[in-house]
């Protein structure tokens, strides 16, 4: 068991970065676990425990800052839960090379989101029937992404809330962390029923991620966002390239 204590600092770093950006931290945890030989299913299921822990810590801090839109967050979270069930079952079907290719694409999308987030502009707050229909489909897709890859789905929820619904970025990222509590919990339950996670490894990641979430949510108002965005974007790009090369090197 001692050989897995490195998961504690990994969870902490992922928790800090994920909380500040609103993506949860799975986009850090899953590539690292995959590089160390964890199967995609094990990496994703373990990461969901860390994502859940991180979302609790972040949401507590953001709630004190009054930056969570609960009514909207609950609606989107409930709409995402069916997708998390589909994603958990899909993780048993997707082969490791295909998983790496798909996750590489998700990392690239995450990098684009992080780099472009300051250019996103909120519009007039809009919860019309058309927007809610779009939100239902996007939330379902976000749930699939969250459970299949063990990440928060923030690349879906944050742009949805800012661009389509008209929420400010200051409120969208914290609300995304609140949504993640529900999507991660649902994914955790289904993955656990299917026997996917290693609970000791997941526990180490969760402890580190919880502490990182507390730190990250407080730093979110102080850190130089431009440098953070650039650093994370480069890391995601390198990780995506490594995943794609690994996938192409092996049989499908």
Q: What CA–CA distance (Å, rounded) separates 33 from 35?
A: 5
Question: pLDDT value at position 135?
Answer: 92
| Average pLDDT taken over every residue of the chain | 86
Residue predicted with more confidence, 99 or 221: 99
Give residue-wise pLDDT tens across range 25-52.
788 899 899 888 899 899 999 999 999 9
What are the CA-CA distances from residue 37 to residues 21, 152, 196 (Å)? 27, 22, 15
Q: Indicate whether 189 pLDDT > 90.
A: yes
Rounded to an integer, the average pLDDT of 194-221 is 89
Give residue-wise pLDDT tens across range 50-106.
999 988 988 888 899 898 999 999 999 999 999 999 999 998 888 888 998 998 888
Contact, 79 vs 135, CB < 8 A?
Answer: yes
Q: Which of 104-113, 137-146, 221-230, 239-248 tops mean pLDDT? A: 137-146
Report how far Cα 216 is from the mean position of its chain's Cα atoms: 14
Q: What is the dihedral of CA 81, 141, 49, 13, to 10 degrees?
A: -140
Q: Indicate whether 220 pLDDT > 80.
A: no
**N- to C-terminal Cα separation, the chain:** 32
What are the CA-CA distances from residue 89 to residues 86, 94, 148, 168, 208 (Å)? 5, 9, 8, 34, 27
Q: Indicate whether 20 pLDDT > 80.
A: no
CB atoms closer than 10 angstroms to residue 223: 13
Contact, 79 vs 140, CB < 8 A?
Answer: yes
Residue predicted with more confidence, 20 or 141: 141
Q: What CA–CA distance (Å, rounded) separates 59 from 133?
A: 26
Question: pLDDT value at position 2?
Answer: 63
CB atoms closer than 10 angstroms to residue 215: 17
């Amino acid at each position: 068991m001692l050989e897995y204590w490195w998961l504690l600092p990994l969870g902490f770093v992922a928790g800090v970065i994920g909380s500040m950006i609103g993506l949860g931290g799975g986009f850090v945890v899953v590539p690292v676990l995959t590089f160390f030989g964890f199967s995609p299913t094990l990496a994703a299921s373990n990461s969901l425990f860390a994502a859940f822990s991180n979302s609790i810590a972040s949401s507590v801090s953001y709630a004190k800052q009054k930056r969570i839109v609960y009514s909207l967050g609950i609606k989107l979270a409930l709409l995402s839960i069916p997708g998390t069930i589909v994603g958990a079952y899909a993780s048993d079907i997707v082969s490791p090379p295909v998983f790496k290719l798909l996750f590489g694409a998700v990392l690239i999308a995450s990098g684009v989101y992080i780099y472009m987030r300051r250019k996103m502009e909120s519009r007039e707050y809009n919860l019309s029937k058309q927007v809610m229909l779009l939100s239902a489909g996007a939330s379902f897709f976000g749930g699939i992404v969250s459970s299949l890859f063990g990440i928060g789905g923030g690349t879906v929820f944050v742009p949805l809330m800012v661009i389509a619904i008209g929420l400010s970025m200051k409120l969208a990222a914290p609300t995304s962390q609140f949504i993640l509590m529900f999507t991660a919990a649902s994914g955790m339950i289904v993955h656990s029923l299917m026997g996917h996670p290693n609970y000791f490894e997941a526990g180490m990641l969760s402890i580190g991620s919880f502490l990182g979430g507390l730190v990250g949510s407080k730093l979110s108002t102080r850190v130089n966002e431009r440098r953070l965005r650039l650093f994370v974007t480069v890391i995601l790009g390198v990780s995506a390239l490594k995943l794609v090369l690994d996938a192409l090197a092996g049989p499908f």
